[in-house]
Amino acid sequence: MLNIGSYDERIKNFDWNIAEKELDYHPGDIINIGWYCSDRICLMGKADKPGLLWEGSTGVEKRYTYNDIRLNSNTIAQFLLDLGIKPEDRVCLFMDKIPELYIGFLGILKMGAIAQPLFSAFGDDSLFIRLDNAQTTAIITQKKHLPKVRKIIDKMPYMKHIIIVDADPGKPLANREVAFDMAKAEKIETFDFHPTTAESPSVLHYTSGTTGQPKGVKHVHYSLISQYLTSKWVLDLRDDDIYWCTADPGWVTGTSYGIIGAFSNGVTQCVLDAGFSADNWYRFIEKYRISMWYSAPTAIRSLMKAGEEVIKKYDLSSLRHLASVGEPLNPEAVIWSERVFGKPFLDTYWQTETGSIMISNYPGMKIKPGSMGKPFPGITATVIHPETFEPFNESGKIGLIAIKPGWPAMMRTYWKNEETYQKKFQNGWYLPGDRSSIDNEGYFWFVGRDDDVINTGGHLVSPFEVESALLEHPAVAESAVVAKPDFVNMEVVKAFVTLKPGFTASKDLDLEIMNFVRKKLSPLAMPQEIEFIDSLPKTRSGKIMRRILHAKEWGEEIGDTSTLEND
């Protein structure tokens, strides 16, 4: 029996109080995500049920019951309070996918602070920009990432504590550094969690745009309502499932569905903190008998590339339901997964700002390979004209995806940037910034983004941020960054660079600049190709015309060039 039952029946007279009733929440009550994802599950009689099964790159395994998660999150919450951290202070999680990341997230929320997860591959520049914007009070990290933090700490007087979860015993710590060992810390049996309410801030996720600095997306504790129910109905999470969400909690999927959705539904979830390989992933599925698998098109295409022979080495019969997130899922991947796994990956569409799944394919619903599916019950979505912002009256028209505001997990603002937040709304609609069409059966078909942010492997990269890093290299005079087509990652970063006098294009300089960006930002932001050119296409006012470079890369029509500098 599917959790969602009949999609057509569910969309009739839907109300979010379906989730509120199941969570025993009433409007005006205290609602704390940390408590709902640990203590509540224990009170339901699942204290001894495995909540987190973790495996590291060296094969080390760790196992945590829901009672372990409750006790350890209590302990972290109390530790933060004892340091003097206050409710609504920002606490950054800057770690690999280790247990302290998942449990620490809940601990931060329990004591009322705002969790700020950041991707551990970020370089010091990317890290500083986000910490500085949030004026972060504390950062929880590992000794392997400590050099990046130490490099920028003098620029952050607001950063009071650097908490190291694996500090070497007896080794002296620098100013503001403190050690915390979750395994050895005395467990706190009872913790009076902070009485957060629906609109209390919970998570601050950073997302990149095409211009300006990364934006802090503020979510609240009431987001739990959306994340709980979408996990149950879209991911079809059931009490006996072994669930694997491959996303890193440095990104929103890894928190909304790699922590909150899984733990609030009381399922057992697995985490693999190791590099990607087809053998490694299939071995992991076989070993832990994964039944629900939520992954990304980039990973799926990499598995396709590895071939079908490797699949025959493993018993993957435990797989019951598969879903995809992060970028459009090409039809070939859906057809391929149905052939090799006996079931299709179901595409889901949402973004950091929406906090939860907006448009999706559902268990039991007819799947059209390449389609995004239909809106989640309770979500009013359509396609509107990009200039009048009025909905189209006929199917097949390409326009902007538009969603009626008001769902529980919707972002509440961009941190310190209310003006940009307000620009996301037009004519009573929230605009995600993507284009789509809707067919005559109500299925959405993704066309592309309305801006030029680069989606590489499901992770958004800001051209502006990469261009800024490139300009810091002594050889670079000007730069423009666009997306380049890529079979595995859908898109990768390509940079067009003009050189300063005295520098000559070469393969060595190419690699030097690539590594320069990699160290400053992250491996994801590093250009996969650099093309040295004499001049960049610009308007007469001096604005670089990225769309011309983008069009050439994708073999598209260049369009109007009337404002081009040398036209």
Q: Which residue has the tokens 């530790």?
A: 79
**Residue 194's pLDDT band (cuts 50, 70, 90):** very high
Sign of the alpha-carbon dihedral angle for 297, 228, 238, 286: positive
d(CA 189, CA 199): 28
Give mean pLDDT, residues 74-101. 98
The 10s digit of each residue's pLDDT in 277-299 is: 999 999 999 999 999 999 998 89
pLDDT of residue 209: 57
Identify the CA nearest to 191 among candidates 42, 90, 26: 42
**Residue 463's pLDDT band (cuts 50, 70, 90):** confident
On the question of pLDDT at 477 being above 50, the answer is: yes
Sign of the alpha-carbon dihedral angle for 513, 516, 520, 526: positive
Q: 305: which residues sit within 8 A by CB, 6+ positions away?
A: 487, 488
> Residue ranges of the domains in the chain?
7-436, 454-554
The 10s digit of each residue's pLDDT in 533-548 is: 999 898 655 667 888 9
Give mean pLDDT, residues 351-374. 96
Give mean pLDDT, residues 112-135. 96
Q: Name which residue leads in pLDDT, 303 or 557.
A: 303
Lowest-confidence segment of 47-61, 412-426, 450-464, 471-485 by average pLDDT: 450-464
**Residue 562's pLDDT band (cuts 50, 70, 90):** very low
**Residue 454's pLDDT band (cuts 50, 70, 90):** confident
The pLDDT mean for the chain works out to 94
Written out in words, the top-level CATH class of the domain with range 454-554 is: alpha beta
CATH superfamily assigned to domain 7-436 = ANL, N-terminal domain (3.40.50.12780)
The pTM of the full predicted model, rounded to 2 decimals, is 0.89
pLDDT of residue 314: 98
Phi, psi of 189 (to 5 degrees): -70, -45
Sign of the alpha-carbon dihedral angle for 64, 252, 10, 406: positive
On the question of pLDDT at 165 being above 50, the answer is: yes
pLDDT of residue 327: 83
Lowest-confidence segment of 189-203, 207-221, 240-254 by average pLDDT: 207-221
Cβ(266)–Cβ(239) under 8 Å?
yes
Q: 497: which residues sit within 8 A by CB, 6+ positions away?
A: 470, 476, 477, 478, 479, 513, 530, 531, 532, 533
Strands 138-141 and 161-164, by their bridges, are: parallel
Number of H helices, E strands in the chain: 18, 28
Fold matches, 7-436 and 454-554 = no
pLDDT of residue 542: 63
